[in-house]
């Protein structure tokens, strides 16, 4: 790696210096939103909290939470802190029901986002000499443009392929000799499968050395699978449209957790039931406060992502707090017969089971007032679908391992390779038919 850091002064700042910086920025931010954003002023007035009551980062717990509901209630510009003429870009996250959640960016916000993204690219092994293949979608989704501006900030070559047209993706990876790829982890696996079918030789035809994968929850098992199939080092990158896209946090070569860019985005973990702040290494809901954002700053935004934080030293020398891998979302969590189940638990089991691929779909239903769960899993190409006895043994063994892992019995359906629909965006893992009844 030519350079371990993009901004060494900030990335290796002492904890005491960082706390002073965070405190200064939080105090300014609270006054900023109180003066400029009516919903925040109303929330603070309702609990008789004044901006002057916030004197340091340690006072952050006094501030009210912000929910996605607040963004939708004030759609489209009610949460903005600047006039529309001062915004340079709008992004929005998809919504299954109701209104989109919109985020507005000033030019300074874009510059900060690009800076944080460039730090992440360096963690993936990128340099100003890199060719960065960007297979995240461009548009209202923050993935494509977020990495694009980060690559240009670094001085690398950005290849704005966007999503779709897998054959063209592979052709450009080969012709442009990209060394860094950015996409969802599930799409990375799909690309690897297609390369194999096309006779593409990893290391010769494709010369990737690193990748930034995010936008969906994934496991360390999936990381190893991607690294083995694509011959690169896989990095986990975190972001969300409401705060900023990819670049809010990213892991380094030591894989001790995702370094949070906590000079701009301050993370907390709170108990998902009581909402009380909890300490390091305890799992709960991730809450983020933007410390420098101008367009649409957010105070204690509840992300619904389930994770934990760590302040353990990292051998890379970065001193930022680390985000341990996101295991799922509180609104993605399935409750099956009273047991909490996350799709990532299923994925972990599949990756350890020989003869199946990490392509699966979960169907949940309620029959005669009893929750039922079916997990449809693809067989590996080496397994013959017509070997009935072998398939039945595999099905029973996998069902037992799944039940042991998630504490819920599930019907296992094994299907032929390629049967489960692929996505170039976020993989859709669950169909919950109970919601329709």
CATH code for the domain of 6: 3.40.50.12780
- Same domain for 382 and 252: no
Task: Give the per-residue pLDDT at 411.
Answer: 95
Q: Count the domains in the chain.
A: 2
Is it the case that residue 220 has pLDDT exceeding 60?
yes
- Same domain for 114 and 28: yes
pTM of the model: 0.83
Task: Give the per-residue pLDDT at 96.
Answer: 44
Domain end position, chosen among 284, 307, 330: 330
Higher pLDDT, 15 or 325: 15
Q: What is 167-224 written as a DSSP string?
A: HHHHHHHHHTT-SEEEE-HHHHHHHHHHHHHTT--BTTTB---EEEE-SS---HHHHH
Task: Give the per-residue pLDDT at 102.
Answer: 94
Residue range 238-265, pLDDT digits in tens: 999 899 999 999 999 999 999 999 999 9
3-state SS class at 294:
coil
- Same domain for 144 and 32: yes
Average pLDDT, the chain: 92
CATH code for the domain of 398: 3.30.300.30
- Same domain for 289 and 348: no
Residue range 63-118, pLDDT digits in tens: 999 998 999 899 999 999 999 999 999 999 865 445 788 999 999 999 999 999 99
Domain of residue 364, residue span: 334-436
Across the range 156-170, mean pLDDT stands at 94
- Same domain for 359 and 326: no
User: CA dist 331 to 107, 275, 304, 306, 334, Å?
Assistant: 32, 15, 7, 10, 8
- Same domain for 107 and 251: yes
- Same domain for 30 and 103: yes
Across the range 378-393, mean pLDDT stands at 81
Per-residue confidence band for 186, with pLDDT thresholds at 50, 70 and 90: confident
- Same domain for 158 and 98: yes
- Percent over 90 (pLDDT), the chain: 73
Across the range 269-292, mean pLDDT stands at 95
Domain end position, chosen among 270, 296, 330: 330
Pick from 19-33, 43-57, 86-100: least confident: 86-100
Is it the case that residue 366 has pLDDT exceeding 70?
yes
C-alpha–C-alpha distance, residues 348 and 165, integer Å:
29
What pairing do the DSSP bridges indicate for beta strands 180-183 and 210-213?
parallel
- Same domain for 374 and 285: no
- Same domain for 367 and 387: yes
- Same domain for 414 and 314: no
Residue range 419-428, pLDDT digits in tens: 998 776 677 8
C-alpha–C-alpha distance, residues 13 and 22, integer Å:
12
Per-residue confidence band for 434, with pLDDT thresholds at 50, 70 and 90: confident
Domain end position, chosen among 330, 346, 367: 330
Across the range 363-367, mean pLDDT stands at 91
- Same domain for 318 and 174: yes
Task: Give the per-residue pLDDT at 1.
Answer: 43
Tokens of 218: 């994934």
């Amino acid at each position: 790696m030519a350079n371990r850091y993009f901004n060494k002064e900030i990335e290796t700042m002492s904890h005491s210096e960082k706390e002073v910086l965070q405190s200064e920025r939080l105090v300014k931010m609270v006054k900023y939103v109180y003066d400029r954003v009516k919903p925040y002023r109303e929330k603070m007035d309702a609990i008789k909290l004044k901006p002057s009551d916030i004197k340091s980062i340690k006072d952050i717990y006094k501030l009210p939470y912000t929910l996605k509901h607040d963004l939708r209630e004030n759609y489209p510009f009610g949460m903005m802190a600047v006039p529309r003429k001062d915004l340079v870009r709008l992004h929005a996250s998809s919504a299954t029901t109701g209104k989109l959640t919109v985020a507005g960016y000033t030019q300074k916000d874009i510059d900060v986002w690009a800076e944080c993204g460039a730090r992440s690219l360096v963690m993936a092994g990128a340099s100003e000499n890199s060719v960065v293949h960007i297979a995240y979608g461009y548009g209202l989704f923050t993935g494509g443009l977020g990495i694009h501006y980060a690559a240009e900030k670094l001085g690398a070559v950005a290849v704005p392929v966007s999503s779709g047209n897998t054959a063209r993706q592979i052709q450009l990876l080969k012709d442009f000799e990209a060394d860094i790829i950015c996409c969802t982890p599930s799409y990375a696996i799909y690309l690897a499968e297609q390369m194999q079918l096309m006779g593409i030789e990893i290391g010769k035809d494709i010369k990737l050395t690193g990748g930034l994968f995010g936008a969906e929850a994934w496991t360390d098992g999936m990381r190893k699978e991607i690294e083995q199939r694509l011959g690169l080092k896989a990095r986990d990158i975190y972001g969300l449209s409401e705060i900023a896209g990819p670049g809010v946090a990213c892991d380094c070569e030591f894989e001790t957790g995702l370094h949070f860019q906590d000079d701009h985005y301050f993370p907390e973990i709170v108990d998902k039931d009581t909402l009380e702040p909890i300490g390091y290494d305890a799992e709960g809901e991730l809450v983020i406060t933007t410390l420098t954002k101008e367009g649409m700053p957010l105070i204690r935004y509840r992300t619904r992502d389930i994770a934990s934080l760590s302040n353990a030293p990292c051998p890379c020398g970065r001193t930022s707090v680390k985000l341990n891998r996101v295991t799922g979302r509180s609104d993605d969590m399935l409750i099956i017969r009273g047991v909490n189940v996350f799709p990532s638990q299923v994925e972990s089991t599949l990756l350890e089971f020989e003869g199946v691929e990490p392509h699966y779909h979960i169907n949940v239903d309620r029959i005669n007032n009893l929750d039922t769960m079916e997990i449809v899993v693809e067989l590996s190409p080496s397994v013959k679908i017509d070997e009935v006895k072998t398939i039945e043994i595999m099905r029973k063994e996998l069902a037992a391992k799944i039940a042991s892992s998630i504490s819920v019995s599930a019907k296992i359906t094994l299907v032929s390779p390629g049967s489960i629909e692929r996505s170039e965006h976020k993989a859709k893992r669950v169909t919950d038919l109970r919601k329709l009844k």
